[in-house]
Amino acid sequence: MINAFRRIPRDLPGNPDIRIIGPQSSGKTTFMASLARWPNAKLDSPIQSVNPFDDESGRLIAIAQDILENGLSMAPTRPDEDVHSLPLYTLLIELKPAFQIGNIGNNLRFQVSCREYSGEIIKDLRGGSSGINLSDYLDDCADSSGLLLLVDGTSREDNHYAQAFATLQTELNVRLIGRNKNLRQYRIAVVFSKAEQAQVWIHRYDIQKFTNRRFPKTKETLNKWSKTWRCPMNYFFCSAFGMKGSPATPNVKVQSRESGGTYAVIDNTSVWRPFGLVAPIYWLHTGKDDQRLRDL
């Protein structure tokens, strides 16, 4: 039965158009599929719901159900030459009324639209040639309001990311200035995935210490980028698979560990509960950070 008394959600102002960039197997598609599925949410979670906006975005839920919930690993995003042939996923995220002081009775809603690029873009930014049209990808990236840079927190390729992000900043700088865009309004969320893994989990309350130890050159490059553009930049942890049990342990079956990071699948799908996925998107959309969305 439809609840005739359900209040219409109040839409939050902001720009929902972002791009997700990260190396191969950093978990870009898994991030979006887990967000769309949003399984086993806590009763006291500030997040009311996550829903796909259209049929194409609904494919993310099918991916979560058919692949992730069956304990299978995600296939890499194909390095398509034409960036515009990649799907543009759009999700509607509702927050409970109590999330914002003074908002009584109405849920808060915001939208995110994103196009995730294959990990080959990181290689090409470092001078490689994967077959994608890098210039077109960068043009498309410049159309967005911000970036979500997704990095596997367990990887050991700090130098690679620093080099790639330095080139990315240079290329976007030319494009954004050429379009008379204000660099100060461009937001960049740096998100470290696989936060359920021990080497990341131990630093879950001190992301600055984590980046200083694990990704010093990447952090130096990103700090220089932020200072040059005078644009907002923020750092986040997330896990698409989350934890299980008490005491908490990673809810994953590790398949392999390489310099590029950790490759794993869900262990127990009945208690699958991601964390940290909404926080960077909310910040990119509104410019506001909220610890409740960062809670593990």
Per-residue model confidence as pLDDT tens digits over 241-264: 999 999 999 999 999 999 988 999
Pairwise CA distance, residues 237 & 92, whole Å: 22
* Tens digits of residue pLDDT in 83-137: 888 888 999 999 998 776 556 678 889 999 998 888 889 999 999 887 788 999 9
Pairwise CA distance, residues 48 & 94, whole Å: 5
**Could you tell me if residue 181 is inside a domain?**
yes
Average pLDDT (50-72) is 91
Which residues lie below 8 Å from residue 44, measured CB to CB, with a gap of 6+? none
- Angle between helix axes 207-214 and 216-229 (nearest 10 degrees) is 110
* Tens digits of residue pLDDT in 138-187: 999 999 999 999 999 999 999 999 999 999 999 999 999 999 999 999 99
**Could you tell me if residue 61 is inside a domain?**
yes
Residue type, 262: T
**Could you tell me if residue 4 is inside a domain?**
no
> Domain total for the chain?
1
Local confidence band at 1 (pLDDT 50, 70, 90 cut-offs): very low
Q: Is the peptide bond before 247 cis (omega within 30 degrees of 0)?
A: yes
Q: CA angle, 157 as apex, 261 and 141 as ends, to 5°?
A: 90
**Could you tell me if residue 113 is inside a domain?**
yes
Burial of 234 (0-12, 13-18, 19+ CB in 10 A): middle
How high is the pLDDT of residue 254? 94
Reported as half-sphere exposure (CB side, CA atoms, 13 A), residue 56 has a value of 9
CATH number of the domain within which 273 lies: 3.40.50.300
Top-confidence residue, 132 or 287: 287
Reference 167, options 198, 201, 122; nearest CA is 122
How high is the pLDDT of residue 103? 62
**Could you tell me if residue 3 is inside a domain?**
no
**Could you tell me if residue 200 is inside a domain?**
yes
**Could you tell me if residue 2 is inside a domain?**
no
Q: CA angle, 30 as apex, 296 and 217 as ends, to 5°?
A: 70
- Tell me which of 5-19, 214-228, 260-274 is least confident: 5-19
Q: Does residue 275 contact residue 283 with C-beta atoms inside 8 Å?
A: no
**Number of other CB atoms surrounding residue 205 within 10 Å:** 10
How high is the pLDDT of residue 6? 58
* Tens digits of residue pLDDT in 187-234: 999 999 999 999 999 999 999 999 999 999 999 999 999 999 999 999
| Highest-scoring range by mean pLDDT, 6-15, 72-81, 209-218 | 209-218
For 273, the domain range is 10-294
| pLDDT of 42 above 50 | yes
**Could you tell me if residue 1 is inside a domain?**
no
